[in-house]
A and B are shown apart, each in its own frame.
Chain A
Amino acid sequence: MLLLKLGVRFLAKVTNVLLVGVGGQGTLLAARILSGVLQQGGYDVKMSEVHGMSQRGGSVVTFVRYGDRIYSPLVEKGTADLILSFEKMEALRWLPYLKPGGTVVVNDFALLPAPVLMGKAEYPYNALEILKEQAETLIVLDAAKVAMEEAGNIRTQNVALLGALASHMDIDTEIWQQVIRESVPPKTVEANLKAFAAGGQQH
């Protein structure tokens, strides 16, 4: 219970987080770990995501809100403290949600959407430059590289991204480690913990 006590912080403030990406990219597991951490941290937490059609390769978003008492499960435009994007263009799409002074953590990875694959639209390859101009704090992480080189397991990308996110949140590292241990397949615990640590150092 020591961990719990360390993590308890009561703030009148509400923090808004967006996890965005492409259906099938593993945003759901990341959101589950994040909300588990916040729950252990003693916060009221709400999370909202949409299942169904968009899971077939569409643009997906998970809203996570935490603080003293949370009412709406949705984040309003212009109010996100943190945006964690699993894909570059999706970070741009959801940028209107960022509040002035907010932080963007983005995976340096492009997944081309159908209209681009078919040559009917152009991918904004300069996404990172635009993000740099627009976000007060921008963290760019090559999650695949971290996952392969630091953790030796490509499937730890989402946890590497969480590592980068965690370094901008005020929550005890041990709580993160504990929830990761409980959330990932037992055989991959060590790799995920390595990815988490490395993700937090890459900027």
Chain B
Amino acid sequence: MAELKLPKGEKSVKLFLSGNEAIARGGYEYGATFAAAYPGTPSTEILENLTSYEEIYAEWSTNEKVALEVGLGASLAGSRVIVAMKHVGVNVAADPLFTAAYTGVNGGFLLVSADDPTMHSSQNEQDNRNVAPFAKIPMLEPSDSQEAKDLVGQGFEISEKFDTPVLIRITTRIAHGKGLVHCQERQQPPELDYKKDAAKYCMLPAFARQRRLVIEERTARLQEFSENFPYNKIEWGSKDVGIITSGISYQYAKEVFGDSASYLKLTLTWPLPEKMIREFAAKVNKIYVIEELDPYLETQIRALGVEVIGKDVIPNMFELSAEILRERILGQKLPEQELDVPIPPRPPVLCAGCPHRPVFYILKKMKVPVMGDIGCYGLAVPPPLEAVDTTVCMGASITMAHGFQKASSWLGTNKKAVGVIGDSTFFHSGMTGLADLVFNKGASAVLVLDNRTTAMTGHQPHPGSGITAKGEPTQEIKIEDVVRSMGVEDVAVVDAYDLDGAEKAIRHALDFDGPSVVIFRRACALLKGLPKLPPLQIDQEKCTKCHICLSTGCPALVHHPDKSVTIDTDACTGCTVCAQVCPFDAIVEVGGEVLG
């Protein structure tokens, strides 16, 4: 984690920051005192960096809805607040968000949505710029790290002046792209007292109807503000081509067109500065709207009666790039080296020693429908494990298994299903699903992969970890206690590395007539400070090259062209799963025997 403080005695310094670091830095400089988030690529580093400032309370919340609500409460108490999440997190937080637009705020309230075009690390692609007009909250789109920091300050002011949550919408290349940022000292946040005001904060229908009118009036004022907002600006170049753009797309447009075009660079992108757009349009011959994903600007600009070229040439999916603009608009292709050698793909894999591996190895053998969830265990979908039937969204494992099992019994096909969920996801949105399953007399087996952390996003603590975002020890909620208290009677806790024990537990859970939960407890192999287990090697005399060990998909096992298999002892964590599946006891500890 970057230490983002200024060197002692310096008033201003240029730091090389990612957009996420810059947003955290902005929180510090512009007087944030409160931050809440749930991890999710590409948003995670925002809160991670905010935890390093003593002046700011920061928490990992159990999910995004919770983070948004915790943040809203903090804003009412008078804090300047940053709440951060990935694009799909905003779906989870949509309920409070859409009504926070009605209640408004007290301390400045920023929701950062980090979208992931091309889905580098996501289950879907969505353009959350659409959230701003939908929820009726103003939106800011930074185009680099400097603006990411600046707009935190602007956002707090807009939020407080217009009494509204503000959406800061970034994308992967802003979040994880680094650039130079001028950093300054922290400004003192305004002192804002909480005042009880039921007509503003209690959205009963009668009050909500009044606030609905307030939103319209606020939007009209924001519209006016947008016309004069200094970050909405025109850069004149040749007037043959006018480019209207925002966010990272501005950088790609500049890269390709330089001074050969004029730019209307929009930063406050809801509500749009309509006058400014019309005036710009009147002065250029031809207009391109250059934007990534949906025709968000284009549709609104066309509705103003301004003719533009947009998605007819620019793709409406995946990341944009200078290359794409060059090709689609200028018809140019840069020379590139052609290679006719096949290069094998290098997909991400479950790590050596991953405690998820044995569970999926067993499930694959059982041929039962496995409703999966979102986490590192997504890596059990591709070969060789191929043990997962579905991956939809966080929490969908338990509920889909329940629906599948119920429908099968209703239809008379009587299929059981297994729901597999990680520990962080269990707290995020698995608990309500489990309550549903118990309540509605489900009979699915639920397997909780308790690797003690939120691994996929880089090991953030969660309510079962016993430690807070700030590194303080805290109450550790035991998943088995939660499950039992919900009325599940058949509960087992098993070591994931014990293949026999794990298989017995899964078989029992599947046979059990009623809700059954197995918790596989074994820390993620990448967590720091774990006891080191001795690495393994293969006794080549005993090995018959049957390759059963390879079917675990452990990347420490090396398959050689002569069909022999060895173990990379640097990569091996000594989990012994391969030794347990070897029918010939050929896998042994380096320097000693291990029991197969």
Contact = CB atoms under 8 A, between A and B. Distances in A.
Interface stretch (A112-120, A168-176, A191-199): A112-120
Contact of A54 (B120, B351, B550, B559): B120
Interface string B557-573: 11100010000000000
A56 B376 contact: yes
B403 interface: no
B421 interface: no
B41 A51 contact: yes
B133 interface: no
Contacts of B254: 71-72
B180 A44 contact: yes
Interface string A67-82: 0001111101111000
Contacts of A189: none
Interface string B33-74: 000000001101100000000000000000000000000000
A52 B251 contact: no
Contact of B323 (A76, A89, A124): A76
Interface residues of A, number: 55
B348 A23 contact: yes
Contacts of B42: 50-52
Contacts of A56: 348-351, 376, 379
Nearest to A59: B346
B457 interface: yes
B1 interface: no
A120 B347 CA distance: 13
B346 A58 contact: yes
B595 interface: no
Contacts of A122: 342, 344
A9 interface: no
A112 to B, nearest CB: 6
A121 interface: yes
B198 interface: no
B437 to A, nearest CB: 29
Main secondary structure on chain A at its contact with chain B?
A: mixed
A117 B564 CA distance: 11
Contacts of A100: 335, 337
Given A46-B179, A54-B120, A72-B252, A92 B336 contact: no
A35 B339 contact: no
B230 interface: no
B121 A130 contact: no
A78 to B, nearest CB: 4
A53 B456 contact: yes
A26 interface: no
Given A72-B255, A118-B559, A95 B120 contact: no
B96 interface: no
A36 interface: yes
A121 B179 contact: no
A70 to B, nearest CB: 8
A72 B172 CA distance: 13
B440 to A, nearest CB: 34
A96 B339 contact: yes
Nearest to B351: A56
A90 B179 CA distance: 26
B535 interface: no
Contacts of B338: 96
B177 interface: yes
Contacts of B339: 92, 95-96, 130, 134
B334 A115 contact: no
Interface string B291-325: 00000000000000000000000000000011100
Given A35-B178, A50-B120, A71-B255, A57 B553 contact: no
A93 B251 contact: no
Contacts of B172: 50
A113 B344 contact: yes
B14 A54 contact: no
Interface of B: 14, 16, 41-42, 44-45, 120-121, 144, 172-173, 176-180, 248, 251-252, 254-255, 321-323, 326, 334-339, 341-351, 376, 378-379, 383-384, 456-458, 547, 550, 553, 555, 557-559, 563
21 contacts: A36-B16, A45-B178, A50-B120, A51-B41, A51-B121, A56-B379, A58-B349, A71-B251, A71-B252, A71-B255, A72-B322, A77-B323, A96-B337, A99-B335, A115-B344, A115-B345, A116-B344, A122-B344, A124-B343, A124-B344, A134-B339
Given A39-B14, A58-B348, A121-B344, 10 more contacts: A36-B16, A46-B144, A52-B42, A72-B252, A93-B343, A98-B337, A112-B558, A113-B346, A114-B347, A119-B563
